[in-house]
Amino acid sequence: LRKGFPEVVYGPGKTPRQVAEIMRRLRERGGPVLVTRVHAEQAESVQRLLPEAAYHPVARALTLPAERDEAGERAPGPAIRVVTAGTADIPVAEEACLTLELMGRPHERVYDVGAAGLHRVLHHLPSLREAPVVVAVAGMDGVLPGVLAGLLARPVVGVPTSTGYGTGQGGVAALLTMLNSCAPGLAVVNIDNGFGAAVLAGMIASVGSPAPP
């Protein structure tokens, strides 16, 4: 599937029956299918109707593989890095990784590089510099993506998360930090939108390749 991205369905507000039906219909188009924001019970009900659906509990997503398995066919080039500030940001990062996986995009996890300190960031810098683009996931004050954008010459996709409390306001504080960063090369997506960040990063990584038809 190197050239596109998966068919995607937004899980909340849909009955298991609706989800299963949509997954079946979309599978017919040939590519993989991804359903985001599915909690465990909802997933189980869908799997009873559609046993071939796989559930990814940390990413909170259901998937169907592509018709013709192209898992072996990977896009060439260095791996996109998916970075998190803290442990609580991992579910959003896993949604991104799962999406990159379905897109056939090589990617590497760099988790927990530190919310309140910069040492771990500096430690990973040489590896991060190899990436064509970095997905940086952070809640609370959302400082990490801007710091990375200041240190790297490649684009950074910042994903604010709803991790935090009080004035964090469900991710709004982190979002504002990223939008107001002076660091050049920082793209921002919606709060908790791991899927969207991955699609964007995958597209960026393939800008040098011929466009999909």
Ligand X SMILES: Nc1ncnc2c1ncn2[C@@H]1O[C@H](COP(=O)(O)O)[C@@H](O)[C@H]1O
- Quick note: the x/- pattern for Mg ion over 10-49, rule CB under 5 A, is ----------------------------------------
Q: Which of 5, 6, 8, 66 binds ligand X (CB under 6 A)?
A: 8
Residues 144-163 close enough to bind Mg ion by CB under 5 A:
149, 152
Structure tokens at 20: 């299963």
- Least separation in angstroms between residue 72's CB and ligand X is 26
Q: Which of 98, 193, 197, 198 binds ligand X (CB under 6 A)?
A: 193
- Upper half-sphere CA count for residue 82 (Cβ side, 13 Å): 27
Rounded distance, CA 171 to CA 13, Å? Answer: 21
Calculate the alpha carbon distances from 137 to 117, 175, 178 in Å: 15, 11, 11
Q: Which of 104, 195, 200, 206 binds ligand X (CB under 6 A)?
A: 195
Which residue, 64 or 177, has its beta carbon nearer to a copy of itself? 177
**Residue 127 binds which entry of a copy of itself, Mg ion, ligand X, none, with Cβ cut-offs from 5 to 8 Å by kind?**
none
Q: Which helix (H) or strand (E) covers residue 46, if one does?
A: helix 40-49
Beta-strand relationship, 61-64 and 54-56: antiparallel
State which residue has the least CB distance to ligand X: 86
Structure tokens at 14: 């849909």
87 belongs to the binding site for ligand X (CB under 6 A):
yes
- Least separation in angstroms between residue 54's CB and Mg ion is 26
Which residue, 73 or 212, has its beta carbon nearer to ligand X? 212
Residues 167-206 close enough to bind Mg ion by CB under 5 A:
185
Calculate the alpha carbon distances from 106 to 67, 75, 201 in Å: 20, 7, 11
Q: Which residues of 66-95 are buried (b: 16+ CB within 10 A; e: fewer)?
A: beeeeeeeebeeebbbbbbbbebbbbbbbb
**Residue 209 binds which entry of Mg ion, ligand X, a copy of itself, none, with Cβ cut-offs from 5 to 8 Å by kind?**
a copy of itself
211 belongs to the binding site for ligand X (CB under 6 A):
no
**Residue 91 binds which entry of a copy of itself, ligand X, Mg ion, none, with Cβ cut-offs from 5 to 8 Å by kind?**
a copy of itself
Which residue, 15 or 87, has its beta carbon nearer to ligand X? 87
What does 39-99 look like in DSSP terms, one character per residue? -HHHHHHHHHH-TT-EEETTTTEEEE--SS--TT----SSPEEEEESSGGGHHHHHHHHHH
List residues binding Mg ion (CB under 5 A): 149, 152, 185
